[in-house]
């Protein structure tokens, strides 16, 4: 048993050493216009060691699990830390040891559906599209599942085993617009934390959402271009999640604060409207399990919620053990690694703006001339908190009523300025966990929020 | 190295034999082993981490009864290969028959050695170059904050093999450096920017690369930015990276295999027609000497040849692999890359700038993928207003919008000075008729 082998190494670890075994599995199917264009399963696994000495980290990894390989990565990690201390000295003391902690996740093994299940599921949805929506010019259906399975032991007593499955089904529907060009709408038909076979039992449970995506794309085909400039908007919860993650979240990751984020001088100061509270949750929130639950992170720290903005005031950062020590804060358990060959970095887990008290219908009714932004394709931001989100589905709001759909556009702004313009938050929220965040390594993240009424720059003609 | 090569040949043959034994009519495998990366990291201006990773990879694609399936692992032992082939066969059995699913014919045995001939990293050279960059920038550009800075030596060995008999062996070794930085003055912080390069050796100071110095030099002026007031139509003077990004997004929508198979490309039926300014010729060339790793082989088992997807403004064809070609009945591309160089123009960056009356100098574009019809919009980051041929200050909260297909026809100038970063050889390009909007 691999677990027995790993446990045997636990008492042999000295100094500040982490030893991690990890397996990433990924199963994917994609049908483009009915053609099977992706159909496969990928598995990557291996062992890594990380050593902290004198203020520097040494890391090494290898694909093999045998004793020689484990000994080799431990030696290489030590040697790498020594390379840096031999040139730079040892300016920092050891990180404080944590109390011993042991944790095994509720899910204890990989138990996903086979390739045929995903393929048949996708084919049934594709057949439904062909039968029910003949006006479409093309369609893509993608079904995927991934699972991370890891075991971490550390020299200061962490002994942690976790299994994290995630699955999703995506539809991209394409229709011809009046000008002869093609427009498309992309959306998740369903998904979240869990094995594919557990989350997706029958394709017809997704048909209501599929109808909704079809309705959007047909309205978009008759859509108009947004008018470039600053506008009052209601962002659907899909966009609130990416605002929380991309535009604010990255600026308050402690390593990026050390790197010069604009949020550095704002700690303890008002940065948003008083109705805005934003938290990076570890595993549960508002009574529900979250899509990217982290109970103990990849440094062996017991994870806790990182409260970032409370009632409009910036109150904290997300930390790993080293950044917490430098700031004199408590570690929050945000150190995460994507693959066995990756070192843990400060990463978000489940980042969300908390819901308010308003009804979405009242929010739309309160806008005289603006936009209701429904779906985003991608988002980017930098350490000034200036952000950009692609908007792939939205509607005009005219005198409090939804109007024509708009074609693809982009919104932008400075997030810490935008948050001060927030006047209404809806009383419901949704979570999404289909995407990956890129920061040296990619990693699965959860993000969520309510609908948000604010002012933003919008691209157009 | 001979041992590694033989290991790859043995593993590939074993996988192909297993696939045949399990019922595959044809198969292709890619096997890689003996890969090693040595990496030094700087975070927040200080050395933080040194990494050494060892890696392997096996990718198997099978066709059984005209059905396709694939699988991959990062281990080369026989048990892992068995399991990977079985997964690929299982996937194929679950799929639909498609007569376009075929394995490329026998292209013979080829070998490519690229980059440095080194087998071991010169760690002192990596450390010294990084220390030098930190010291040089601290001295010459005191307001520069180096946020993350990573340098690597990488070595990889890969064999592509298929059941028709093709064997392509590729051996690579190289150094790379990438840095992200911003400028800071008290609580004022600029937008972040970066520079990166691949090189056969680390014999040259990083600030000695003109595009690295240019990137560092333009940070401090970005501490004071202003949004563009209102909206105007003007000329974008795009850095090589931004120009390549805009052109590539047009190509993805118009010549990429997915858009041709789905028949959503606006260029369907336009081969031989004008799609761009006649000065634009985009070149993908496996013998390009200014690039460290020009791709010698396609992913589906063919030898890359020189190809201009757009030649003198005319569309020459689509980027279809074997599957896309058989699926659509259109010719297979001779090179599966879009471009890594283009025919240079005659003007220097300074001459291009001097010719722009009203426009924007754009070093980074932060935008969504263009719509199928080519419409795009996004934020001009690390950008400067141009008035009467001169830089008139850094901008913030400024958006640009237009249509990528129209951009190709509205080229104002193509520069004469390519950035040579080891990955491409591309110059500044200016495009007219773009909407610039601020507050």
Q: Which residues does chain B have within 8 Å of residue A260's beta carbon, measured at their own beta carbons?
A: 44, 145, 147, 182, 184, 189
CB contact under 8 A, A39 and B396: no
The segment with the largest mean pLDDT, out of A133-142, A239-248, B397-406, is A133-142
Which segment of A101-115, A242-256, B55-69 scores lowest on mean pLDDT? A101-115
Give residue A77's pLDDT band: very low, low, confident or very high (50, 70, 90).
very high
Distance CA B378, CA B205 (A): 34
- Out of A255, A382, A392, the one facing B192 most closely (by C-beta) is A382
CB contact under 8 A, A258 and B44: yes
Contact call for residues A132 and A124 (beta carbons, < 8 A):
no
Confidence (pLDDT) at A112: 84
Distance CA A237, CA A235 (A): 6
Confidence (pLDDT) at A288: 87
Does domain B2-220 match CATH 3.30.2290.10? yes
Distance CA A186, CA A170 (A): 7
- Retrieve residue A266's tokens: 């704002």
Q: Which residues does chain A have within 8 Å of residue B51's beta carbon, measured at their own beta carbons?
A: 58-61, 80, 343
The domains of chain B are located at: 2-220, 224-439
Percentage of chain B with pLDDT > 90?
Answer: 92
Residue B27 in this model has a pLDDT that exceeds 90: yes
Torsion of CA B89, B92, B93, B96, to 10 degrees: -170
Confidence (pLDDT) at B414: 98
pLDDT tens profile A446-457: 999 999 999 998
pLDDT tens profile B312-341: 999 999 999 999 999 999 999 999 999 999
Confidence (pLDDT) at A227: 87
Q: Which residues contact A19 (CB under 8 A, 6 or more apart)?
A: A6, A9, A10, A13, A47, A48, A49, A70, A74, A152, A153, A154
Please tell me which residue, A220 or A10, carries the higher pLDDT value.
A220
Which residue from A minimizes the CA distance to B59?
A42
CB contact under 8 A, B93 and A116: yes
Q: Which residues contact B294 (CB under 8 A, 6 or more apart)?
A: B285, B286, B287, B288, B304, B340
- Mean pLDDT, residues B177-197 taken together: 93
- Out of A115, A228, A391, the one facing B437 most closely (by C-beta) is A228
- Mean pLDDT, residues B49-73 taken together: 97
Percentage of chain A with pLDDT > 90?
Answer: 81
Chain B within 8 Å of A194 (Cβ-Cβ)?
no
Among B198, B318, B301, B222, which Cα is nearest to B263's?
B318
CB contact under 8 A, B258 and A32: yes
Q: What is the bridge-based pairing of β-strands A56-62 and A424-425?
A: unpaired
Give residue B152's pLDDT band: very low, low, confident or very high (50, 70, 90).
very high
Residue B214 in this model has a pLDDT that exceeds 90: yes
Chain B within 8 Å of A46 (Cβ-Cβ)?
yes
CB contact under 8 A, A341 and B92: no
Query: What is the DSSP track for B34-84?
Result: EEEEEEEEEETTEEEEEEEEEEEEEEEEEEETTEEEEEEES--SHHHHHHH
Token pair 């495009």 is at which residue?
B431
| A140: closest CA of chain B, how far (Å) | 9
pLDDT tens profile B73-125: 999 999 999 999 999 999 999 999 999 999 999 999 999 999 988 888 999 99
Give residue A381's pLDDT band: very low, low, confident or very high (50, 70, 90).
confident
Distance CA A315, CA A300 (A): 24
- Retrieve residue A368's tokens: 């005289």
Contact call for residues B19 and A43 (beta carbons, < 8 A):
no
Q: Which residues does chain B have within 8 Å of residue A377's beta carbon, measured at their own beta carbons?
A: 368-369
Confidence (pLDDT) at A3: 73
pLDDT tens profile A388-411: 999 999 999 999 999 999 999 999
Please, what are the domains in chain A? 2-221 (3.30.2290.10), 229-458 (no CATH)
Q: What are the distances in angstroms from CA A349 to CA A48, A379, A448, A452, B160?
A: 22, 17, 11, 21, 38
In the predicted model, what is the mean pLDDT of chain A?
Answer: 94
Give A419's DSSP letter.
Answer: G
Q: What is the bridge-based pairing of β-strands B109-115 and B167-185?
A: parallel
pLDDT tens profile A274-317: 999 999 999 999 888 898 999 999 999 999 999 999 999 999 99
Q: Which residues pair with A373 in a beta bridge?
A: A235, A394
Residue A2 in this model has a pLDDT that exceeds 70: no
Q: Which residues does chain A have within 8 Å of residue B54's beta carbon, measured at their own beta carbons?
A: 60-63
Residue A269 in this model has a pLDDT that exceeds 80: yes
Residue A251 in this model has a pLDDT that exceeds 60: yes
Give residue B2's pLDDT band: very low, low, confident or very high (50, 70, 90).
low
| A179: closest CA of chain B, how far (Å) | 10
A256-269 as b/e: b if 16+ CB within 10 A: bbbbbbbbbebeee
């Amino acid at each position: 048993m691999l677990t027995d082998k790993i446990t045997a190494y636990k008492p042999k670890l000295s100094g500040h050493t982490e030893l991690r075994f990890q397996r990433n599995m990924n199963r994917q199917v994609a049908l483009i216009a009915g053609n099977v264009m992706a159909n496969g399963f990928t598995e990557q696994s291996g062992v890594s060691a990380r050593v902290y000495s004198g203020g520097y980290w040494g890391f090494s990894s290898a694909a093999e699990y045998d004793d020689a390989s484990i000994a080799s990565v431990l030696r290489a990690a030590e040697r790498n830390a020594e390379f840096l201390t031999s040139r730079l000295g040892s300016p920092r003391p050891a990180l404080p040891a944590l109390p011993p902690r042991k944790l095994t996740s509720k899910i204890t093994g990989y138990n996903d559906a086979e390739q045929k299940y995903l393929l048949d599921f996708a084919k049934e949805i594709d057949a439904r599209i062909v039968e029910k929506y003949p006006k479409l010019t093309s369609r893509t259906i993608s079904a995927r599942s991934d699972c991370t399975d890891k075991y971490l032991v550390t020299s200061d007593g962490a002994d942690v085993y976790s299994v994290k499955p995630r699955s999703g089904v995506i539809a991209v529907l394409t229709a011809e617009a009046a000008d002869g060009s093609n427009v498309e709408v992309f959306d998740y038909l369903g998904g979240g934390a869990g094995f594919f076979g557990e989350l997706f039992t029958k394709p017809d449970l997704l048909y209501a959402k599929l109808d909704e995506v079809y309705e959007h794309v047909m309205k978009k085909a008759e859509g108009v271009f947004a008018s470039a400039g600053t506008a009052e908007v209601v962002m659907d919860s899909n966009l609130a999640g990416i605002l929380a993650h991309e535009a604010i979240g990255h600026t308050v990751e402690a390593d990026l604060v050390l790197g010069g984020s604009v949020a550095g001088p704002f700690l303890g100061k008002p940065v948003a409207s008083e109705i805005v509270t934003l938290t990076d949750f570890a595993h549960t929130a508002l009574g529900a399990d979250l899509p990217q639950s982290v109970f103990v992170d990849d440094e062996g720290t017991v994870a806790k919620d990182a409260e970032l903005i409370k009632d409009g005031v910036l109150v904290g950062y997300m930390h790993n053990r080293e950044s917490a020590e430098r700031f004199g804060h408590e570690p929050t358990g945000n150190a995460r690694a994507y693959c066995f060959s990756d070192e843990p970095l400060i990463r978000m887990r489940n980042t969300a703006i908390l819901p308010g008290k308003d009804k979405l219908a009242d929010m739309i009714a309160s806008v005289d001339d603006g936009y209701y932004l429904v779906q985003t394709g991608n988002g980017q931001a930098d350490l000034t908190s200036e952000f950009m989100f692609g908007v792939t589905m939205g509607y005009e709001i005219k005198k409090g009523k939804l109007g024509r759909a708009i074609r693809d556009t982009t919104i932008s702004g400075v997030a810490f300025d935008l948050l001060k313009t927030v006047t209404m938050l809806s009383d419901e929220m949704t979570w999404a966990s289909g995407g990956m965040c890129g920061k040296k390594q990619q990693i699965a993240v959860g993000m969520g929020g309510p609908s948000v009424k604010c002012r933003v720059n919008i691209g157009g003609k | 190295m001979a041992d590694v090569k033989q290991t790859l040949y043995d593993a590939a043959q074993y996988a192909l034999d297993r696939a045949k034994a399990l019922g595959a009519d044809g198969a292709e495998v890619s096997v890689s082993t003996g890969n090693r990366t040595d990496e030094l990291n700087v975070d927040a201006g200080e050395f933080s981490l040194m990494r050494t990773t060892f890696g392997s990879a096996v990718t198997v694609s099978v066709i059984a009864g005209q059905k396709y399936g694939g699988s991959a692992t990062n281990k080369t032992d026989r048990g892992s290969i068995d399991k990977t082939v079985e997964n690929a066969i299982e996937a194929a059995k679950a799929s639909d028959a498609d007569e376009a699913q075929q394995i490329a014919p026998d292209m013979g045995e080829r070998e490519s050695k690229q980059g440095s001939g080194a087998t071991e990293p010169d760690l002192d050279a990596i450390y010294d170059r990084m220390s030098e960059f930190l010291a040089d920038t601290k001295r010459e550009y005191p307001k520069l904050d180096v946020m993350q800075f990573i340098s690597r030596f990488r070595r990889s060995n890969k064999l592509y093999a298929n059941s028709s008999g093709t064997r392509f062996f590729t051996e690579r070794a190289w150094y790379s450096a990438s840095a992200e930085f911003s400028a800071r003055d008290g609580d004022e912080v600029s937008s972040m920017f970066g520079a990166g390069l691949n090189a056969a050796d680390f014999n040259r100071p990083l600030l000695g690369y003109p595009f690295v110095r240019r990137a560092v030099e333009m940070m401090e002026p970005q501490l004071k930015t202003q949004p563009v007031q209102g909206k105007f139509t003007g000329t974008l003077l795009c850095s090589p990276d931004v120009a390549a990004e805009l052109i590539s997004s047009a190509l993805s929508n118009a010549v990429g295999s997915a858009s041709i198979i789905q028949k959503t490309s606006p260029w369907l039926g336009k081969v031989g027609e004008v799609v761009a300014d006649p000065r634009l010729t985009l070149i993908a060339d496996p013998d390009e000497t200014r690039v460290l790793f020009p791709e010698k082989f396609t992913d589906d088992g063919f030898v890359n040849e020189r190809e201009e997807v757009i030649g003198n403004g005319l569309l020459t064809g689509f980027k279809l692999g074997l599957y896309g070609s058989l699926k659509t009945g259109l010719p297979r591309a001779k090179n599966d890359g879009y471009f890594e160089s283009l025919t240079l123009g005659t003007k220097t960056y300074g001459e291009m700038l001097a010719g722009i009356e009203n426009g924007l100098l754009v070093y980074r574009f932060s935008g969504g993928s263009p719509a199928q019809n080519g419409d795009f919009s996004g934020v001009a980051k690390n950008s400067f207003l141009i008035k009467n041929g001169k830089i008139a200050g850094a901008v913030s909260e400024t958006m640009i919008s237009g249509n990528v297909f129209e951009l190709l026809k509205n080229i104002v100038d193509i520069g004469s000075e390519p950035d040579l970063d080891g990955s491409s050889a591309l110059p500044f390009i200016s495009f007219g008729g773009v909407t610039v909007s601020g507050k």
